[in-house]
Amino acid sequence: MTSNDLLLDSAGRIFADHSDKAVLDAAERGEFPERLWNALVENGFHQLAMPDSGVELADVFAVIGLAGRHALPLPFAEALLANRWLGDSARLGSIGLVQGDRVVDVPWGRRAELILALDAERGAYALLDGGGAGVYVEQDRNAAGEPRDAVPLPEGVTWMPLTEPAAAFLALSRGIAMAGGLERVLDLSLQYANEREQFGRPIARFQAIQHNLALMAGEVAAARRAADAAVDAIGGERFELEVAAAKSRVGEAVGIAAEIAHQVHGAMGFTHEHQLHHFTRRLWAWRDEHGNEAFWQQRLGRHLAALGADRLWDFLATRG
Amino acid sequence: MLQFDRVTLPESSEALRAEVRAFLQQNAEHLERPNSDFTTGHDPEFSKKLGRQGWIGMTWPKRYGGGERSFFERYVVTEELLAAGAPVSAHWIADRQSGNLILRFGSEAQRERYLPPITRGESYFSIGMSEPNSGSDLASVRTGARRDGDGWRINGTKLWSTDAHRNHFMIALVRTEPPSENRHAGLSQIIVDLKNDGVQIRPIRNMAGGEDFNEVVFDDVWVPADRVIGEPGNGWRQVTSELAYERSGPERFLSAFRVFVEFTRLAGDRPEPGVAQAIGRLASHLLTLRRMSISVAGMLEEGKSPEVEAALVKALGNDFEKLLPEVARLAATGRSTQSAEYRRFREALTDTLLLSPSFTLRGGTREILRGVIARGLGLR
């Protein structure tokens, strides 16, 4: 086992132990998964992305992908990245986006003690108190029922320059989490198709089902390869463009794969009791967070148009 | 779960890439084609030039004229040729699969006889699999060969054999034993000399106006015994082993690439959002498909037989080849149709659109590929 495998293995065990259907349902009712968060802190996972953690950023994103596979119901990527940029803290950090005089789309802003307010236009961030520190929070949620809150941006906050492509890191965190979530949804669909019997045989034996699942497997594999490629580009000059390609390609895969997953699962998958929706709703929500397909496609397309038709192939034929 | 490892091309590939680009620039007169389809440009002069460069049979042993280079290096050469729209169809099948088949299953005498001329770009092969009544159901082929003296006598008809009227040899999948309960048993692969064995070849005009594929009739055609590749009866195993080579390469997602280039040219350097979005979308697909295809090249390099992964790359790649012209067509709307850029775009678009039905048929239909993938997923 490599150190990467060990890391994923121990993360996977914590995720599996503390992120079952009951925890997911409770989180959706607004109960923060304190036991999960404590377990992560006890095992040092909140420090995983710190510059001196000894863990490569690529491996950090692999763990974030695994968190997506488990639909981890807390702001995992945000807590890790906030610690990376703000310094060590066992207090829960989250990250929101400056929009006018507010900081919006803050995952679990109601519970976070620190909020990093990101102003991409200014190329800067500011540090705010979160709901956990007694600040007024306007509660909101995404399609998966995950808290996406807003706090007022106080006047006179201190802005500090961003030293890393924070927006791209956040987009990649969603991209890799979606790749993990897609793999889970494929596993669930394959399992269901092999178990569910109609007309006297498992529905997996029907060609119509087989072909839809084959199509889905292609999209899931493409999503994984695209997200991994962006992770591999961290630190390189193409990084933001690779994130653009990955976030948009994964987002397209979500549209196709989640639809097929539900079709295969039939009415069972449409019930709240079934676990499928915890994953598919997150996939639908995440593809719109930190830039959807259209946003990143335009970004990549503008770059390529400026390069020109005769350099298009050179850009595509990259070694990595 | 199907795995596509994060394979990176070796550093040495960049020098090779530069070499190929320089070569293409010096041979630009061969590149005046409106599409980037691998089956439509038959140019023996160009193939011979490639042979002199050492770019055919690159992975084969040197004693047969090969280059003993890696699948990654071969990958770089083939993708550069396709992206430039080079006319590669003459030597393509020989280089991609026939030679590999002879290398793996053929006799020493066959290797010495057939491989060196292939690497020189002088000897071209066609595929002899489909028949009038055997398409996707390949095991149902009826063309039969029976022992006759020191050889075989063949009767039957092969169909859709690309360039059989131009190429030198065909590897025909034939039945050498009567059908039995095991329908995969009793099949063999035989090398047929298309110029000298007395087969009748009739080109079939396709809907795009090209005459590339053929009907090949065997009417009591006799071939010597040393034309059989491998053991008689082992044909099914051999023919399916070709598929990983046949299905995973860049020709499975670059057939429409010329449209992308001309669309980007038409868009100019500061396109409106919808046009930029179309360019970005196509690029995100292409980057990903190429990486998946290189992952499969890595598996071939390791000596694996990634047939399911190859089928998945082909299925995904062929769908992209059909998506590309549709996305470009709609995004290009509203522009002046009188510019030189628009005419080039429209020429590529029309040509590719007319060829596009073949993308998801040749080399295994989309439906067959999905069946292969489903089997890999444990669904059948």
Q: Which burial class, exposed, middle or buried, applies to A274 when counting CB atoms under 10 A from its CB (0-12, 13-18, 19+)?
A: middle
Average pLDDT over all residues of chain A: 96
At which residue do the structure tokens 């088949």 appear? B101
Contact B83 A313 (CB under 8 A): yes
- Whether A177 has a pLDDT exceeding 80, the answer reads yes
Query: Is the pTM value of this prediction over 0.95?
Result: yes
Contact B279 A232 (CB under 8 A): no
- Chain A residues within an 8 Å CB radius of B275: 301, 305
Nearest to A94 by CA among A84, A102, A81: A81
State the smallest CA–CA distance between residue A274 and chain B in angstroms.
22
Contact status, residue B161 vs residue B169, Cβ threshold 8 Å: no
Instruction: Please tell me the distance from the alpha carbon of residue A44 to that of residue A64, in angstroms, as a whole number.
Output: 15
Contact B277 A190 (CB under 8 A): no
Secondary structure of residue B156 in the 3-state scheme: strand
**What is the separation, in whole angstroms, between the first and last Cα of chain A?**
24
- Chain A residues within an 8 Å CB radius of B83: 313, 317
Cα dihedral sign for A98, A103, A105, A106? Answer: positive
Arithmetic mean of pLDDT, A293-299: 98
Contact status, residue A226 vs residue A275, Cβ threshold 8 Å: no
- Chain A residues within an 8 Å CB radius of B268: 305
Choose the closest CB to A225 out of B277, B291, B379.
B291
- Chain A residues within an 8 Å CB radius of B285: 249
- Chain A residues within an 8 Å CB radius of B315: 214-215, 218
Choose the closest CB to B292 out of A225, A232, A294.
A225
State the smallest CA–CA distance between residue A298 and chain B in angstroms.
4
Choose the closest CB to B284 out of A217, A249, A319.
A249
**What is the separation, in whole angstroms, between the first and last Cα of chain B?**
15
- Chain A residues within an 8 Å CB radius of B13: 319
Q: Which residues contact B310 (CB under 8 A, 6 or more apart)?
A: B243, B244, B246, B247, B248, B296
DSSP codes joined into one string, chain A = --HHHHHHHHHHHHHHHH-SHHHHHHHHTT---HHHHHHHHHTTGGGTTSTTSS--HHHHHHHHHHHHHTT-SS-HHHHHHHHHHH---SS-EEEEEEETTEEEEEETTTT-SEEEEEETTTTEEEEEE-GGGT---B--B-TT--BEEEEE--TTPPPEE--S-HHHHHHHHHHHHHHHHHHHHHHHHHHHHHH-EETTEEGGGSHHHHHHHHHHHHHHHHHHHHHHHHHHTTTSTTHHHHHHHHHHHHHHHHHHHHHHHHHHHGGGGGSSSSSHHHHHHHHHHHHHTTS-HHHHHHHHHHHHHHH-GGGHHHHHS---
Arithmetic mean of pLDDT, A200-212: 98
Instruction: Please tell me the distance from the alpha carbon of residue A33 to that of residue A18, in angstroms, as a whole number.
Output: 8
Provide the residue-wise pLDDT of chain B in tens; the chain has 380 residues: 789 999 999 999 999 999 999 999 999 999 988 888 999 899 999 999 999 999 999 999 999 999 999 999 999 999 999 999 999 999 999 999 999 999 999 999 999 999 999 999 999 999 999 999 999 999 999 999 999 999 999 999 999 999 999 999 999 999 999 999 999 999 999 999 999 999 999 999 999 999 999 999 999 999 999 999 999 999 999 999 888 888 989 999 999 999 999 999 999 999 999 999 999 999 999 999 999 999 999 999 998 989 999 999 999 999 999 999 999 999 999 999 999 999 999 999 999 999 999 999 999 999 999 999 999 999 99
> Could you give the C-alpha distances from B72 to A93, B8, B76, B250, in angstroms and in order?
45, 9, 6, 12
- A128 φ, ψ (degrees, to nearest 5): -125, 160
- Chain B residues within an 8 Å CB radius of A214: 312, 315, 369-371, 373-374, 377
Contact A205 B286 (CB under 8 A): no
pLDDT given for residue A1 in this prediction: 55
Residue-wise pLDDT tens digits, A50-80: 999 999 999 999 999 999 999 999 999 999 9
Query: How many contacts, defined by CB atoms under 8 Å, are there between A and B?
Result: 172
- Whether A150 has a pLDDT exceeding 90, the answer reads yes
> Which band of pLDDT confidence, cut at 50, 70 and 90, is reported for residue A240?
very high
Choose the closest CB to B8 out of A187, A205, A319.
A319
Choose the closest CB to A190 out of B8, B371, B377.
B377
Q: What is the largest CA-CA distance in chain B?
A: 72
Closest-CA residue of B relative to A184 is B1
At which residue do the structure tokens 């000298």 appear? B196
At which residue do the structure tokens 């066959």 appear? B110
Amino acid (1-letter code) at residue B375: R
pLDDT given for residue A42 in this prediction: 96
* B149 and chain A in contact, CB less than 8 A: no
> Which band of pLDDT confidence, cut at 50, 70 and 90, is reported for residue A211?
very high
Amino acid (1-letter code) at residue A133: A
Beta-sheet pairing, A148-152 with A93-99: unpaired
> Which band of pLDDT confidence, cut at 50, 70 and 90, is reported for residue A2?
confident
pLDDT given for residue A153 in this prediction: 95
